[in-house]
Amino acid sequence: MSDLKNNDVNVEDNACGCGHDHDHDHDHHVHTLTLELENGEELVCPIIEIFEVEGKEYIALLHPEEEIAMLYGFVDDEDGSVELTEIKDDDEYDKIAEVFNTLVGAEDDEEEEA
């Protein structure tokens, strides 16, 4: 079962992603999702993006140790619980990855312009 949690994170230097080109120290609010692995271990992953493709929602999570994006189908139930589904079809995964890369690329372009 996955549990959606909010964590405050202190970020130092200008790696905070706030778009400012200066040194500073301030809090950013980061949404995370805690994945429970098959071995019972929990993995707290920052949420990169929740996006829609062809009427279905997907979520991109940042693996905290490997710094890679993990893509899943995403359902946010009315009771506040979250359900992730594995994308098993290679064609669907390729399509979702392409949309995600386009979204992330557009955000990077906007940050560079700011």
Give the start-to-end residue ranges of the domains of the chain: 3-113
Structure tokens at 98: 């392409």
Q: Tens digits of per-residue pLDDT, 33-72?
A: 999 888 999 999 999 999 999 999 999 999 989 989 999 9
Task: Report which of 64, 29, 24, 25 is spatially closest to residue 43, judged by C-alpha positions.
Answer: 64
Q: Tens digits of per-residue pLDDT, 72-109?
A: 999 988 888 889 999 999 999 999 999 999 998 866 66
Structure tokens at 80: 């506040």
- As a whole number of angstroms, the distance between CA 100 and CA 18 comes to 21
DSSP-H helix ranges across the chain: 90-113
Give the global pTM. 0.68
